[in-house]
Amino acid sequence: MKGIIGKKVGMTSFFGDGGKQIQVTVVEAGPCYVTQLRTLEKDGYSAVQLAFDDAKEKNVTQPMKGHFAKAGVTPKKKIMEFRDFSIEKNLGEAIEVDIFSEGEKVNALGTSKGKGFKGVVARHGFRGVGMSTHGQHNRLRAPGSIGASSYPSRVFKGMRMAGRTGGESIKVKNLQIVKIFKEQNLILLRGAIPGHNGSYVVIEKR
């Protein structure tokens, strides 16, 4: 499976064939560099480790400095493995946006925006209970009953309740590549992808 690490730039409009307006997400994809090659004989599985986005040397540990030096690349911030990579590459070689083509369908993997602590209405879409009149005053956004008291006298695991929201790994499938700007390492994906501007995303072939 081929793929590339990128950084979400933001969303904009793109005018395609016939002047049709398309909402797209701009992703700065690569260049990524091969920093390790996993083999079936040595590691038990086949994979290619890619690194993306330059890092300051003072922020990189000594072991990682040696790891990057062995591959012949400068220190990077983001590292990820791609199993069964469909392109033959050697250590230190670059992976760029030209591994994809315009019109191709891809999957985008990112981390959703963190929303902090949220109640059940915002977190799970509950409608609340009761009415705003007839004497009740503080139950509009409450979850309601979360379990019986006599039996089983406990709350079941997995009960949808208030809690920390967002910050989850989400994969959006079947996104069309509208345009590729190879010189700027930019990919325009139709629609939205998870994450805030500047967050890392992974674009992989379906």
- Model pLDDT for residues 95-125, shown as the tens digit of each residue: 888 888 888 899 999 999 999 999 999 999 9
Which domains, ranges and CATH numbers included, belong to the chain? 3-117+169-205 (2.40.30.10), 118-165 (no CATH)
Residue 23 near residue 179, CB atoms below 8 Å: no
Q: Please state, in angstroms and as integers, the Cα–Cα distance from residue 191 to each residue in 75, 132, 170, 176, 199, following that order.
A: 32, 38, 15, 8, 17
Average of per-residue pLDDT values in the chain = 87
Q: Which residue has the tokens 């950084």?
A: 7
Residue 13 near residue 25, CB atoms below 8 Å: no
pTM score of the predicted model: 0.80
pLDDT, one tens digit per residue, over 6-18 is 999 999 998 877 7
Q: Please state, in angstroms and as integers, the Cα–Cα distance from residue 171 to each residue in 49, 110, 140, 201, following that order.
A: 20, 7, 33, 10
